[in-house]
């Protein structure tokens, strides 16, 4: 409780004691019964007011807690989004690097395949030339 609430409660207690004294001093039973009922209503209203003030204080704390939570959540969401963006960027870089590496591999494979084809053609022509030479030699040896 705050100091202001404590002072109000003390003043209210003094007033309650004064009212109780007036009720006790009343000689007319009808008036006394009416005063007791009114005093009971008064006490209920005071209790309701104090309960409402407590709820208001709790609501203020809850509002502050929710505001703090919202700020923290928004900061967390910004951090998460930054991490996600970094991840997306990393995937783009990785994809580009893999595509580039694949392009170089295909280029190297085509170049080596072209060299192999050229060497095979050269070996084939050398084999054909060799067979022609062997046929000529055999023809010359038969003619002797």
Residue 134 DSSP symbol: H
Task: pLDDT tens for the chain, 144 residues: list them.
Answer: 566 666 666 666 777 788 888 788 888 888 878 888 888 898 899 889 888 888 988 889 999 999 999 999 999 999 999 988 888 888 889 999 999 999 999 999 999 999 999 999 999 999 999 999 999 999 988 886
* Distance (Å, whole) CA 20 – CA 27: 13
Whether 26 and 35 have beta carbons less than 8 Å apart is answered as yes
Domains of the chain, residue spans: 3-143
* Distance (Å, whole) CA 72 – CA 88: 24
* Distance (Å, whole) CA 140 – CA 144: 7
pTM attached to this predicted model: 0.42
């Amino acid at each position: 409780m705050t100091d202001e609430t404590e002072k109000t409660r003390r003043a209210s207690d003094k007033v309650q004691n004064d009212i109780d004294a007036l009720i006790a001093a009343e000689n007319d039973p009808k008036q006394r019964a009416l005063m007791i009922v009114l005093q009971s209503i008064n006490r209920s209203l005071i209790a309701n007011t104090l309960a409402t003030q407590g709820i208001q204080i709790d609501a203020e704390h809850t509002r502050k807690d929710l505001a703090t939570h919202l700020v923290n959540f928004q900061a967390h969401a910004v951090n998460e989004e930054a991490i996600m963006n970094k991840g997306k960027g990393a995937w783009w870089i990785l994809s580009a690097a893999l595509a580039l590496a694949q392009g170089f591999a295909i280029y190297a494979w085509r170049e080596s395949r072209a060299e192999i084809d050229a060497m095979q053609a050269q070996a084939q022509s050398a084999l054909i030339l060799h067979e022609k030479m062997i046929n000529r030699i055999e023809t010359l040896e038969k003619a002797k």
